[in-house]
Amino acid sequence: MADISVPEPFPISQIANRFLIFDVDAVTYARREHNITGVLVGTIAHMSQQNVFLGIPLELMPEEARLLVEQGHAYIADDVDVHNKGFLEMNREDRLAFLQAMDKQGMDAALNNQKKAEERSEKALQRKGLARKVQENAARRASEALESSSAATPTDAEADTSLFDSPPRSASPAISQAPNGLDPFFVTPTTSYPRLPTPPISPTTPLPHVPRTYPLFAYLHSKGYFMTPGLRFGCNYTVYPGDPLRFHSHFLATGLDWDEEFDLLDIVGGGRLGTGVKKAYMIGGADTSTNDVSDKGSGRRTEDGVRAFSIEWAGL
């Protein structure tokens, strides 16, 4: 299968100071082309405790979102503002189609639920010799429901009603007043695509606010590393030499300011912990003491003035 290409820049939705990607193609593209893994946070509403098979959306660290924006691969879209403008400015034809689609989904769900209930009743009554009567009743109800659902369409007056101001009932009274008395389910859309267009790029949207560890994150990313949150190891990032699905992490990285004081016991603890889990403990930060990005003492050269040091615990 050929790799799917995503037009750049692609949108990153900002919701309550969280940065999310809802497009599965953009998720795989960012991982494959830009070493951005994020964390899948999508779950099932009635199984909120399951955490094995999580799906979209993909939540990005602020560092990941900012890096993609600064490199021109993505842009930040205020999701609330996009949805408010998109739905309020929807024309009558689109609104009519949207309401009709929601009514049809609600009636289909209600019919499916009724069908399952009748199947359970039929199985129970079959043991009592009443299967024929049940089948006749089921056929009659299905025929009535089909006729009522096919004849129900929203009117132009209902289409002019705002989606946000509609009363708490179905947009198509003809469906709720079906001869068989079956009421449609109220459906909450799980996606705004394709009702809303791709959000436009806004030059006034500020860059994501990032912590002081961002220089180290950007430096390691420029070297081709993948990074994930390092909370479970007591650090800022776990650093992988390739895709985390294929490699174990090599470093436990902690970002520091150049003139920041730290306790030597933290270095000892980090070094022992890293060695204990077969990794090296890394500290690093941006060198703000000089504009020269070359390390004359060791002959090495750093990028953007960032230097990193790895510590391993050796038995003596």
- Both tokens assigned to 224: 């081709």
pLDDT digits (tens, 9 = 90+) for 251-295: 999 999 888 888 888 888 888 888 888 999 999 999 887 655 444
Q: Which of 248, 250, 281, 296 is labelled catalytic?
A: 248
User: Can 225 be counted among the known catalytic residues?
Assistant: no
Centre a 10 Å sphere on the Cβ of residue 199 and count the other Cβ atoms it contains: 19
Residue 214 has a pLDDT of 94
Kindly name the residue from 75, 104, 279, 281 that is annotated as catalytic: 279
Q: Looking up tokens 């959000």, which residue turns up?
A: 199
- Helical spans, DSSP H, in the chain: 24-34, 62-70, 79-88, 92-126, 131-150, 156-159, 173-176, 214-222, 264-276
C-alpha–C-alpha distance, residues 179 and 141, integer Å:
9
Global pTM value? 0.68
What are the tens digits of pLDDT across the range 74-122? Answer: 999 988 888 887 777 778 887 888 888 888 888 888 888 888 888 888 7
Is 279 tagged catalytic?
Answer: yes
State the catalytic residue, choosing from 73, 240, 250, 281. 240
Rounded to 5°, the CA angle 66-67-69 comes to 65
